[in-house]
Amino acid sequence: MLDRYARGFFTALFTPLARGLRRAGITPDVVTIVGSFGAILSALIAYPMGHLFWGTVAVTVFIFSDMLDGILSRLPGEDGSEPVRTEGQKAWGSFLDSTLDRVVDFVLFGAVAFWFLTGGGRPDLGALALANLALGGVVSYARAKAESLGLEANVGLAERSERIVLLLVFTGFTGLGLTPWVLYGVLWVLAIASAFTALQRVALVRAQTRG
């Protein structure tokens, strides 16, 4: 949902940076890899130590690469022509981006869960973060499997953007002193919305295959 409404804004915001990266010879794949591993390392280092705010700041900086690599891949040539990418390059770029997105998702929720299960002293929050990790995996898998079968499953209340934005925002605020009960409520809402999204996707695929 957020993807559809925010894409135009962030495309306009990051296009100048994308042009600069292309002039420097940086490819979309490099941006994807650097951004993903930057987010992963930031989460693995900061969250288990309880640095929830600064960890969120670092992760957020790298997360923006998820938008930047797509913008970079779609930039027209200097003469205004369309970017020249083979079908193989497009397929590889899409596969790499989606695979690393899943790794980033798992690490973010897992690192938050680790902190609250250990030094954070809130095993209930840790368990909820793990539940969201599992449900998010089901949501993503349902769409990927449907698309591999030539079907559509791009629907739902809690797509990746919603899950990551809400996790980062409220984890960061918790690090600034917001009561953890707010994050607890947000994780419950996310878990319910993710479960509902998975069911929506199952229902949509069933409707397309009925007959």
Mark out the alpha helices in the chain (DSSP H runs).
2-23, 28-46, 52-63, 65-74, 87-117, 123-148, 160-175, 180-209
Closest CA to 159 of 136, 175, 177: 136
Joined tokens for residue 15: 């296009």
Provide the 10 A C-beta neighbour count for residue 182.
12
CA distances from 25 to 29, 30, 105 (A): 12, 10, 28
**Catalytic residue, candidates 66, 69, 101, 105:** 101
Residue type, 49: M
Do residues 104 and 40 make contact, with C-beta atoms less than 8 angstroms apart?
Answer: yes
Closest CA to 194 of 144, 156, 166: 156
Active-site residue, 79 included: no
Provide the 10 A C-beta neighbour count for residue 175.
20
Closest CA to 97 of 60, 76, 71: 71
Residues acting as catalytic residues = 101
